[in-house]
Amino acid sequence: RTYPFSIYNLLICSSSINQTLDSPAKPISDLNLSTLRRILSDPDIKSWKCVSLFSFILENPSLFSFQPDLNTHSSLTLRVLSERKFSDAQRLLKPNILRFPFHAIASSVVNETGFEKKVVARFFNSMLMVYSNNGRFDEVVQVFEYMKNNEIKIDEKSLTLHLLNLKRCDQMELANGFFRLMVGSGLDVVTVYSLTV
């Protein structure tokens, strides 16, 4: 079996994996979850390479003796968000959001250390958008309440885009209810634009 050169090269050159390889000629067969975590958190490896490796693993599950767990997924998403790569982060989030309950995802983020508050806020705002874009409107309310209760900064733009999604789906009753929730939260999240939605 041949592998994309960039993936093979990343595994061979990664200082995170070199110490654990039994057989440098077959780096993929030596890869395990803990080694993957070290690679994905290695600041010397560009995040786009990490995303490529991660995607390769997800797209080729038969090649690996493991699958990335929720914590590994969340950690990579936080890393990508720390570099402000929002569309990459939302692509990484989507499979988890559709597979795991909200509280499991929230717990996996809380367990990650070393990320600034603003990066954690980006994660939850991205989560809100992925739920909204996929019609998971009840979960949007859960994310909003969680962020409010845990004093995580809520991006007004995410909320306005959610209101637009509700309007686009002809869910005016839900849109009105969510707007009332925004107003009643006591947070400064209502903008002139959200008033016009």
| Segment 19-46 mean pLDDT | 71
Residue 23 included in any domain:
yes
Residue 34 included in any domain:
yes
Minimal CA–CA distance to 47: which of 96, 84, 102, 93?
A: 84
For 52, the domain range is: 1-68
Residue 168 included in any domain:
no
What total of structural domains would you count in the chain?
1
Q: Please state the pTM of the whole predicted model.
A: 0.77
pLDDT at 39: 85
Is residue 100 within 8 Å of residue 131, measured between CB atoms?
Answer: no
Residue 142 included in any domain:
no
pLDDT at 114: 74
pLDDT at 149: 92
Residue 22 included in any domain:
yes
Residue 85 included in any domain:
no
pLDDT at 28: 64
Residue 127 included in any domain:
no
Residue 39 included in any domain:
yes
As given in the structure block, the two tokens for residue 16 are: 């995170």
Residue 131 banded pLDDT, cuts 50, 70, 90: very high
